[in-house]
Structure 1
Amino acid sequence: MKKIIIDAGHGPQTAGKRSPDGTLREFMFNEAVAMRLKKLLIAEGITVIFSHDNTRDVTLSERITLANKLKVDAFVSIHANAYGTDWNAANGIETYTCIQPSKASVVMATHVQQALQMRTSRKDRGVKKGNFAVLRETTMPAILVECGFMTNKEEANLLKSQSYQQQCAQAVAFGVLCWLA
């Protein structure tokens, strides 16, 4: 049976991770998508472990240690993006791998990015490489998805909506399942 870690990026108390008007905390979106994604993957027979906790900020090292210790098949980190701290026009979806990704990470990221773009019809910012600890220090294929910008008024409203959260979860699930097939 396949095991996947879903990581709702950041934590409930992480400073600064919110929309300019304060109506959206990033963790609220990340956790909502993570919960929906977990249900979808469990329904497909996949074991899902959360690396986050909705009562405290789990450190990056704790998240990485858990994933590596459990030897999961994949690590998927859910995020909402931001550009600066004021409202602006930056928008779209992007999926990250580490700087020197495995082929498996690139394939998973590509499947997930395509599914997100098709399901949400948001601007396709592509698959990118980033020097993020959860991608760099995990030993399994790992991706980090940015599902829209909290600093874009239109996307902030989408990120707050349950229907958009469900679309993102469905797209990530589809991409991961395609990668596992």
Structure 2
Amino acid sequence: MGQWALLWVLVLATACYLALWPGQVVPTVANGNGTRPTLVLDAGHGGEDGGAVSLTGVPESTINLAIVERMDLLLGLCGRTPVVLRQSDVSLHDPDADTLREKKASDLKNRVMAVEDTEHGVLLSIHQNMFTNAKYHGAQVFFASTDGSQEWAVHTQEALRQAVDPDNERQAKPIPDTVYLMNHISCPAILVECGFLSNPEEEEKLRSESYQLQLAAALAGAWLQYEKNL
């Protein structure tokens, strides 16, 4: 078996393990009629808005999209069809937006609209962290104020710890009120900062396809576990 074939087997095994993981009971979230939710995958930033830039010059938007693409593929192999807000390096702004500021504002409003227009939508937004001190590392999950978001975030944070980084002691936290997307939707929503682009060791991992796959498997598995309790 080739290296990549073996890696895919290990990644799928991780996702399946987390989906069946009995270590935590995930509280249910009522959606009014028992209909299974639709996962919306948001790769943060895109186009002219690359987000944070890694130590080696890679824009956050590229890494965000790579992880979302792998999540989409893994979930597809598990029989799920998530809604993916962007599938290439583009901004989702209206054509009449001219300046970068206008494009960012339009992009965020259109993402909100897309999430809100998704019937029984549930949002997972992928981002990368950055800080002035290079010592900080580790994925962290933030949750919206909507019903069910905190439980999903806590579960996802633990899944990331178990599957990707056992030494990560970070805890899920409420999203700051400055994050437009997460504060203008009405559905359950989490935002995952997958790691710090300002930490040399973690930045190298975040740029690697194998680590992106590991993150995607952990996030997909956590969602499948959470979903089956809805």
- What is the TM-score of this pair, normalised by structure 2? 0.71
Is residue 156 of structure 1 aligned with residue 203 of structure 2? yes
Q: 2:158 — aligned with what?
A: 114
Q: Secondary structure at the match of 2:82?
A: strand
Q: Report the alpha carbon displacement of residue 16 of structure 1 after superposing the two structures with TM.
A: 5.2
Distance in 2 between residues matched to 1:74 and 1:44, nearest whole Å? 18
Asked if the contact 2:51/2:61 (under 8 Å) is kept, the reply is no
Match of 2:188 among 117, 120, 141: 141
Is residue 7 of structure 1 aligned with residue 42 of structure 2? yes
Is residue 129 of structure 1 aligned with residue 177 of structure 2? no
Distance in 1 between residues matched to 2:87 and 2:68, nearest whole Å? 11
Q: Size of the alignment, in residue pairs?
A: 176
Is residue 75 of structure 1 aligned with residue 130 of structure 2? no
Q: 1:165 — aligned with what?
A: 212
Distance in 2 between residues matched to 1:113 and 1:81, nearest whole Å? 15
Is residue 64 of structure 1 aligned with residue 112 of structure 2? yes
Counterparts of 1:73-112 in structure 2, within 5 Å, are 73-84=121-132, 88-98=134-144, 100-102=145-147, 104-112=148-156
Q: Report the alpha carbon displacement of residue 65 of structure 1 after superposing the two structures with TM.
A: 0.2
Write the letter of the residue equivalent to 1:4. L
The Cα offsets for residues 8-39 of structure 1, whole Å up to 9 and x where unpaired, read as 011142155211331x2111111111001011
After superposition, the Cα gap between the structure-2 partners of 1:64 and 1:107, relative to the gap in structure 1 and judged at 3 Å, is same
Q: 2:79 — aligned with what?
A: 45
- What is the TM-score of this pair, normalised by structure 1? 0.89
Percent of paired sites with the same residue: 30
Is residue 34 of structure 1 aligned with residue 68 of structure 2? yes
Asked if the contact 2:196/2:203 (under 8 Å) is kept, the reply is yes
Asked if the contact 1:8/1:27 (under 8 Å) is kept, the reply is yes
Distance in 2 between residues matched to 1:65 and 1:8, nearest whole Å? 15
The Cα offsets for residues 105-140 of structure 1, whole Å up to 9 and x where unpaired, read as 112111211111111115232101112222211121
Asked if the contact 1:2/1:47 (under 8 Å) is kept, the reply is no
Write the letter of the residue equivalent to 1:77. S
Distance in 1 between residues matched to 2:215 and 2:139, nearest whole Å? 10
> Greater shift after overlay, 10-19 or 127-136?
10-19
Asked if the contact 1:93/1:126 (under 8 Å) is kept, the reply is no
Whichever of the two has the greater Rg, that structure is 2
Question: Which structure carries more strand by proportion?
Answer: 1
Unaligned runs of 5+ residues in structure 1 are none
Write the letter of the residue equivalent to 2:40. I
Asked if the contact 1:92/1:125 (under 8 Å) is kept, the reply is yes
Unaligned runs of 5+ residues in structure 2 are 1-35, 93-106
Write the letter of the residue equivalent to 2:56. D
Distance in 2 between residues matched to 1:178 and 1:169, nearest whole Å? 14
Asked if the contact 1:5/1:72 (under 8 Å) is kept, the reply is no
After superposition, the Cα gap between the structure-2 partners of 1:124 and 1:16, relative to the gap in structure 1 and judged at 3 Å, is same
